[in-house]
């Protein structure tokens, strides 16, 4: 009976099964690892939330709650589950047009999409569907990631030069940028370029 219960927990909540076998001597190392992850994850999650159009607090929720869920349902002790640029770009392209500028609708649609995504991931884990990722060719993944990077880069140029961009779509934003270059706020641009130089250095 005990074996059947453990097998059932391991199938539907592998992370919980690992937590039940947790050793106290791991706590110090895991605590330091958690602080390291939090130092990186919290600022980026806040930035990604603002990228979509949410308040910064939503980014904190997105950084904490998925980690708690993965601790129960995940299969890896090393994997980090958090918002990233590619996910946010797809999320924005899917939800923002449906919300139509209504913050309440954006919040509701976002929660619905997050729940549905989580359910799909749980079902995929139960039926061991991870092998499907092997069918994605490397050129497709590279092209997809490069497209996401270009989209995010162009979308954030307005914040670097110090004025608001209203257009949607890469071409439209580039046209708007060219027409507003005379509005560039030089101190903001200087901070942005300095930060970029530090990161690259």
Per-residue pLDDT of 62-82, as tens digits, reads: 888 888 887 777 777 777 677
Is residue 50 within 8 A of residue 33, CB to CB? The reply is no
Rounded distance between C-alpha atoms, residue 101 and residue 107, angstroms: 11
CB 73 within 8 A of CB 18: no
Residue 48: Cβ-neighbour burial (10 angstroms; 0-12, 13-18, 19+): buried
Q: What is the pLDDT of residue 16?
A: 75
**How many other CB atoms sit within 10 Å of the CB of residue 94?**
12
| Residue 25 confidence (pLDDT) above 70 | yes
Task: Provide the token pair at 128.
Answer: 């061991």
Nearest to 60 by CA among 69, 70, 71, 50: 50
Q: Any idea which of 4-18, 51-65, 70-84, 135-149 has the lowest mean pLDDT? A: 4-18
Rg, Å, the chain Cα set: 21
pLDDT in tens, 27-47: 898 888 888 888 878 888 888
The span from the CA of 128 to the CA of 189, in Å, is: 48
Instruction: Please say if the pLDDT value at position 3 is more than 70.
Output: no
Q: Is the pTM of this model over 0.75?
A: no
- Answer yes or no: is pLDDT of 59 > 80: yes
How do the domains of the chain map onto residue ranges? Answer: 136-201
Confidence of residue 155 (pLDDT cuts 50, 70, 90): confident
Q: What is the pLDDT of residue 84?
A: 75
Q: Which of 121, 123, 98, 117 is nearest to 108 (CA)?
A: 98
* Residue 177 to residue 167: CA distance in whole angstroms: 9
CB distance 176 to 168 below 8 Å: no
Least confident of 22-26, 31-35, 151-155: 151-155
Q: Which residues contact 53 (CB under 8 A, 6 or more apart)?
A: 92, 96, 103, 106
For residues 116 and 88, the model is more confident at: 116
């Amino acid at each position: 009976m005990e074996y059947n219960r453990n097998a059932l927990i391991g199938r539907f909540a592998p992370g919980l099964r690992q937590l039940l076998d947790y050793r106290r001597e791991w706590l110090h190392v895991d605590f330091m690892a958690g602080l390291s992850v939090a130092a990186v994850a919290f600022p980026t999650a806040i930035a990604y939330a603002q990228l979509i159009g949410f308040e910064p607090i939503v980014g904190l929720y997105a950084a904490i709650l998925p980690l708690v869920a993965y601790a129960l349902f995940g299969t890896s002790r090393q994997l980090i589950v958090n918002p990233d640029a590619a996910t946010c770009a797809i999320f924005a392209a899917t939800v923002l047009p449906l919300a139509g500028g209504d913050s309440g609708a954006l919040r509701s649609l976002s929660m619905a999409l997050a729940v549905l995504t989580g359910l799909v991931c749980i079902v995929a884990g139960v039926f061991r569907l991870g092998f499907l990722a092997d069918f994605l060719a490397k050129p497709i993944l590279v092209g997809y990631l490069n497209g996401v990077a270009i989209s995010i880069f162009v979308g954030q140029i307005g914040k670097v030069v110090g004025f608001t961009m209203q257009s949607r779509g890469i071409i439209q934003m580039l046209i708007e940028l060219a027409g507003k270059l005379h509005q560039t706020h030089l101190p903001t641009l200087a901070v942005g370029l300095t930060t970029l130089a530090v990161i690259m250095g």
